[in-house]
Amino acid sequence: MQNEKIPTRQLIGFFIVSRLSFSISNIAAMHVPPYNQDQWIMVIVSAIYIIIASIPLLFLANRIKNDTVKDFMKSLYGKTISKILGLFYVIYFIIQAINILTLQTELVTTSILPESSNALVTTLMIIVCIYMTSRGIIVIFRAVDLFVPIIYSFLIVLILLGVNNVDLSLFSPVFVDSSLLELNKGAIMMASMYNDIIVIAMLIPELENKSISTKAFFSILIVNIVTLNIIIIVTQGALGIEYSRHSLFPFLIYVKLIDVANIIERIAAIFVLMWLIAVTSRINITLYLATKIFRDIFEKEKDDKLMLFVVSVIVWLVSVAITWVRPVVGTREDLNSYLTIIFVIFIIVIPTITCLVYFFKRKSINKSDN
Amino acid sequence: MLIKKMFSIMILLILSIVLTSCAGSREISELAIVTATGIDLVDGKVLLTNEVIKPNANPTKGENNGTSVLYLQHEGDTLFDAIRNATLTFDRKLLYSHNEIYIFGEELAKRGIGDYINFFLYDIEPRESAFMVVAKDAKAYEVMGINEGLSATPGKYLELLIENHKYTSKTRSLNINEYIKYYYQRKTPVLGVVNREQKKFINHIQAEGQSDHRDILNVEGGAVFFEDSLIGYYSGEEMIGFNFLVDEIGESLIVFEVSDEFTNNDENYIATKGKYTVLEIKDSKTKNDLIVEDGKINLTVDVKLRGVIGEDSKGLDFRNLNIVKATEEACSNKVKEYISQTMDKAQKDLKVDTFGVDTIFHSKYPEEWKEISNDWESIFPEISYNINVETFIIRTGLLDMPTNVEKGESNAK
């Protein structure tokens, strides 16, 4: 297993599953402009901004090739600066892990375990994630072969069972009530939530092909956009445009409304199970990357468990502390603006600067490689 | 190695205990399952009447004389407050997961229910698919506790009455989610209603001093809301027109009269000649369209329905295609009458658009809509309309001529 690498199939499957954890939870796409029946158009437009925002990291990702990220950064910035940058990225992934874990805790305690304490749910989840992450990146990605068919079968079945509640007339008129400015504003906000590219870039040394092909990147993007749009359309069609925005977990309500001939009903647990699988993948990868960079900074062994423990404890403690004192889903406006700033810094600014540095230093780097 | 194994076994044991879901469990013996809820406003406080299943009662109706349920009344400043106050005098915590009916007293409905229905959406326990009805001319608790059907509980009796709406279309079933959806979309949801009525006992040995009448529930009609307040009612017939207009007509009946010129010769009648023919709707589709000409709005309602002849007391000879055509036309005219009646009520009496005509306008004339959307309630009563109905009789049942006519040679006029 030591020499095993991640095939492109698993890479695509992983990002389809992990992105679904956001698409079916609080559906952030419903909380950005134009706030009406044209959200699905905004989601399509957001693809353009996601591509633009991903260009610097895509470019860099395909330059790392045989280096590790650490070696690549070291050759560009020197030892000290690359370590400082590495530390920033550890913080970035820890913030992402906390964001997902707190979201997960709130959904579980709101939907199926209302009597359970937030701390208990957070603790159990982090234990599961520590175990899975400790088994290594290959195991995390290999599980995808099992998860993709399960999750997508569940999703398709749930959508079909509830489709009789969907009123498509709500989506009319199309592109009349929203301006181009609003659509673009919403699309940019949406794109700022799409941080998959940074995870892909960090995983390049682990990939079978040592690069992310345009085809793989677009496959992930297209499947994610189409899936998100289907979820938005059925949810808005069943709940109405306004109520979908009021609800913290609109797709959960969509599933709660399923009632086929008084036989198939009350199947919200299936939704939660599906969501748990998806979100666990997301937490695992953020924990893994934070740990990996941490190990690189402190020059620890590849299978050192202490760093994973340190990162996980930080994530766990902060998540428990947050969910102990405040709701996280309903009060996300401030958090989202912080996350947007973080996105701009870590996915656009730093990679763009790195691209420029690479451009100026590429001759000396290539020389030393030879 | 041994320590690692021991540690793994310990983790497995701990997880097997924790993952049994017993933490914070709620045992059935500590819960009271609510099957119907009445909501009233009394002296500014919420009065909640809950129908709760008695766990030890035999659910077979008759054996326990309808005592399979209890009725609890509690007050509070809000719904949740009233629900929790129940635990001050009742020994179990109320469970709303199985509640399928919320009844609003008329007084509360007139005052507005928007601030109270929040509870159903905040909490995970109540179901969004539970029905909402208004107790016509009554407090909610006055229409509870009546079970003149075969259901095990009065709540189930009322729930099934509401679900029966598809057989007559003289009422409507609207659940919490649909209410919210219609509310945000049109601001004029139409809910089902429930009336308490008295009927004479049949096959009942009357005890001394006991009334010879019994109470039943009737769900005919619809409660019209503007924003979140009750402003009036549709009658049963008006609800048929309403259901045609919003394209929610079920497998209901159209009872109509065919002109005498299409009936048999009088000498062929061997029994009493009746007045009505009945069509059972099998399939119906309504398309509404708007057109603005010279600043005037005209609504066109196109209805296409297919049905089977379920009853004919007039003695029509359905072997004759002209009579079939005439019957179809008579049925179409009756449907037009239903729709006109409802339109007139909405435009002249209620003065609110309960059919979503505004959404058609918004969809077709989005730019103009921005200018008039705030004045729609004053524009709607002025719009003209024309109704086109096409009826297709697809079967005549097991007869081609009713039994009150003797089948001779061609008898049709």
CATH of the domain at A293: 1.20.1740.10
Select the residue of A110, A177, A240 nearest B124 (Cβ to Cβ).
Answer: A110
**pLDDT surpasses 70 at B410:** no
Looking at residues B287-314, what average pLDDT do you find? 94
Q: Which residues of B355-381 are buried (b: 16+ CB within 10 A; e: fewer)?
A: bbbbbbbbbebeeebeeeeeebeeebe
Please report whether residue A1 resides in a domain: no
With CB atoms and an 8 Å threshold, state whether B121 touches A247.
yes
Higher-scoring residue by pLDDT: B143, B188: B143
Residues from chain B contacting residue A257 (CB–CB below 8 Å): 128-129, 177
**pLDDT surpasses 50 at B1:** yes
Q: Which helix (H) or strand (E) holds B159?
A: helix B154-163
**pLDDT surpasses 60 at B345:** yes
Residues from chain A contacting residue B8 (CB–CB below 8 Å): none
Contact of B23 with chain A, judged by CB distance below 8 Å, is answered with: yes
Structure tokens belonging to residue A8: 């492109």
With CB atoms and an 8 Å threshold, state whether B129 touches A110.
no
With CB atoms and an 8 Å threshold, state whether A240 touches B180.
yes
Residues from chain B contacting residue A242 (CB–CB below 8 Å): 184
Distance, in Å, from the CA atom of B399 to the CA atom of B329, rounded to the nearest integer, reads 20
Task: For residue B204, name the pLDDT band (cuts at 50, 70, 90).
Answer: low
Please report whether residue A182 resides in a domain: yes
With CB atoms and an 8 Å threshold, state whether B124 touches A116.
no
What is the least distance, in Å, from the CA of A176 to any CA of chain B? 7
Return the residue in B129, B179, B182, B228 with the most chain A beta carbons within 10 A, the one to mutate for interface testing. Answer: B129
Q: Mean pLDDT in chain B?
A: 88
Residues from chain A contacting residue B227 (CB–CB below 8 Å): none
pLDDT score recorded for residue B86: 93
**pLDDT surpasses 70 at A368:** no
Distance, in Å, from the CA atom of A227 to the CA atom of A272, rounded to the nearest integer, reads 18
pLDDT score recorded for residue B409: 63
Residues from chain B contacting residue A243 (CB–CB below 8 Å): 177, 180-181, 184
Task: For residue B328, name the pLDDT band (cuts at 50, 70, 90).
Answer: very high
pLDDT score recorded for residue B196: 93
Select the residue of B18, B21, B362 nearest A173 (Cβ to Cβ).
Answer: B362
Residue identified by tokens 């990605």 is A141
Q: What is the pLDDT of residues A351-364, one digit of tens each?
A: 899 888 888 887 77
pLDDT score recorded for residue B23: 58
Closest among B180, B181, B143 to B162, alpha carbons compared: B143
**pLDDT surpasses 70 at B62:** no
Residue identified by tokens 């780097």 is A365
What is the least distance, in Å, from the CA of B410 to any CA of chain A? 47
pLDDT score recorded for residue A116: 81
Size of interface A-B (CB pairs under 8 A): 56
With CB atoms and an 8 Å threshold, state whether A246 touches B121.
yes
**pLDDT surpasses 80 at B26:** no
With CB atoms and an 8 Å threshold, state whether A257 touches B128.
yes
Please report whether residue A270 resides in a domain: yes
Higher-scoring residue by pLDDT: B13, A250: A250
**pLDDT surpasses 60 at A42:** yes
Distance, in Å, from the CA atom of A129 to the CA atom of A311, rounded to the nearest integer, reads 12
pLDDT score recorded for residue A93: 94
Residues from chain A contacting residue B23 (CB–CB below 8 Å): 115-116, 120
Least confident of A51-65, B56-70, B336-350: B56-70
**pLDDT surpasses 90 at B25:** no
Residue B17's Cβ-side half-sphere holds a number of Cα atoms within 13 Å equal to: 5
pLDDT score recorded for residue B304: 97
pTM for the whole thing? 0.88
Residues from chain B contacting residue A165 (CB–CB below 8 Å): 177
Angle at B114 between CA B127 and CA A240, to 5 degrees: 60
Please report whether residue A330 resides in a domain: yes
Looking at residues A201-208, what average pLDDT do you find? 86
Q: What is the pLDDT of residues A89-144, one digit of tens each?
A: 999 999 999 999 998 898 888 877 887 888 988 998 999 999 999 988 999 999 88
With CB atoms and an 8 Å threshold, state whether B124 touches A111.
yes
pLDDT score recorded for residue B64: 45
Looking at residues A332-346, what average pLDDT do you find? 83
What is the least distance, in Å, from the CA of B193 to any CA of chain A? 23
Select the residue of B23, B128, B359 nearest A120 (Cβ to Cβ).
Answer: B23
Return the residue in A108, A125, A179, A243 with the most chain B beta carbons within 10 A, the one to mutate for interface testing. Answer: A243
User: Which sign does the torsion angle of CA B247, B248, B251, B253 carry?
Assistant: negative
Please report whether residue A285 resides in a domain: yes
With CB atoms and an 8 Å threshold, state whether B363 touches A172.
yes
Looking at residues A226-244, what average pLDDT do you find? 95
Q: Is A183 within 8 Å of A13 (Cβ atoms)?
A: no
Task: For residue A64, name the pLDDT band (cuts at 50, 70, 90).
Answer: confident
**pLDDT surpasses 90 at A320:** yes
What is the least distance, in Å, from the CA of A135 to any CA of chain B? 14
pLDDT score recorded for residue A355: 87
| Residue A258 Cα to chain centre, angstroms | 27
Contact of B22 with chain A, judged by CB distance below 8 Å, is answered with: no
Angle at A239 between CA A236 and CA A244, to 5 degrees: 65
Q: Pick the residue from chain A with its C-alpha nearest to B22.
A: A116
Tell me which residues of chain A, numbers 154 to 193, contact chain B at a CB-CB cutoff of 8 Å. 165, 167, 169-170, 172-173, 176-177
Looking at residues B329-344, what average pLDDT do you find? 97
Contact of A350 with chain B, judged by CB distance below 8 Å, is answered with: no
Q: What is the pLDDT of residues A173-183, one digit of tens each?
A: 999 899 999 99
**Widest pairwise Cα distance in chain B:** 106
Distance, in Å, from the CA atom of B353 to the CA atom of B245, rounded to the nearest integer, reads 11
Q: Which of A21-30, B75-84, B116-125 has the highest mean pLDDT?
A: B75-84
pLDDT score recorded for residue A367: 67
What percent of chain B shows pLDDT beyond 70?
91
Least confident of A29-38, A196-205, B29-38: A196-205
Return the residue in B184, B288, B355 with the most chain A beta carbons within 10 A, the one to mutate for interface testing. Answer: B184
Q: What is the pLDDT of residues A144-176, one digit of tens each?
A: 888 999 999 999 999 999 999 999 989 989 998
Task: For residue B413, name the pLDDT band (cuts at 50, 70, 90).
Answer: very low
Residue identified by tokens 């009927």 is B199
Task: For residue B60, name the pLDDT band (cuts at 50, 70, 90).
Answer: low
pLDDT score recorded for residue B258: 93
Distance, in Å, from the CA atom of B221 to the CA atom of B195, rounded to the nearest integer, reads 9
Select the residue of A113, A176, A259 nearest B366 (Cβ to Cβ).
Answer: A176
What is the least distance, in Å, from the CA of B24 to any CA of chain A? 5
Task: For residue B17, name the pLDDT band (cuts at 50, 70, 90).
Answer: low
Q: Pick the residue from chain A with its C-alpha nearest to B365.
A: A173
Tell me which residues of chain A, numbers 112 to 131, contact chain B at a CB-CB cutoff of 8 Å. 113-116, 120, 124
With CB atoms and an 8 Å threshold, state whether B177 touches A167.
no
Q: Domain range for residue A281?
A: 8-369
What is the ipTM, given to two decimal places?
0.84
pLDDT score recorded for residue A11: 92
Select the residue of B128, B182, B185 nearest A256 (Cβ to Cβ).
Answer: B128
Contact of A2 with chain B, judged by CB distance below 8 Å, is answered with: no
pLDDT score recorded for residue B63: 47
Structure tokens belonging to residue B38: 């009445």
With CB atoms and an 8 Å threshold, state whether A116 touches B23.
yes
- 3-class state of residue A63 by DSSP: helix
Residue spans per domain, chain B: 30-202+211-234, 243-413
Tell me which residues of chain A, numbers 5 to 64, contact chain B at a CB-CB cutoff of 8 Å. none
Q: Which helix (H) or strand (E) holds A259?
A: strand A259-260
Q: Which helix (H) or strand (E) holds A95?
A: helix A79-111
pLDDT score recorded for residue A302: 75
Task: For domain B243-413, give its CATH number from 3.30.300.210, 3.40.50.2300, 3.30.9.10, 3.40.50.12780.
Answer: 3.30.300.210
Task: For residue B59, name the pLDDT band (cuts at 50, 70, 90).
Answer: low
Question: For chain A, what is the domain count?
Answer: 1
Residues from chain B contacting residue A113 (CB–CB below 8 Å): 21, 24
Contact of A242 with chain B, judged by CB distance below 8 Å, is answered with: yes
Please report whether residue A302 resides in a domain: yes
**pLDDT surpasses 50 at B411:** no
Q: A153: which residues sit within 8 A by CB, 6+ positions away? A: none
Q: Pick the residue from chain B with its C-alpha nearest to A108.
A: B124
Structure tokens belonging to residue B179: 């209410």
Q: How many beta carbons lie within 10 A of that of residue B206, not counting itself?
A: 9
What is the least distance, in Å, from the CA of B363 to any CA of chain A? 5
Looking at residues A190-209, what average pLDDT do you find? 88
Q: Pick the residue from chain B with its C-alpha nearest to A175.
A: B366
Structure tokens belonging to residue A342: 């973080």
pLDDT score recorded for residue B268: 75
What is the least distance, in Å, from the CA of A207 to any CA of chain B? 31
Q: What is the pLDDT of residues B246-266, one digit of tens each?
A: 999 999 999 999 988 887 677
Contact of B124 with chain A, judged by CB distance below 8 Å, is answered with: yes
Please report whether residue A116 resides in a domain: yes
Contact of B246 with chain A, judged by CB distance below 8 Å, is answered with: no
With CB atoms and an 8 Å threshold, state whether B366 touches A177.
yes
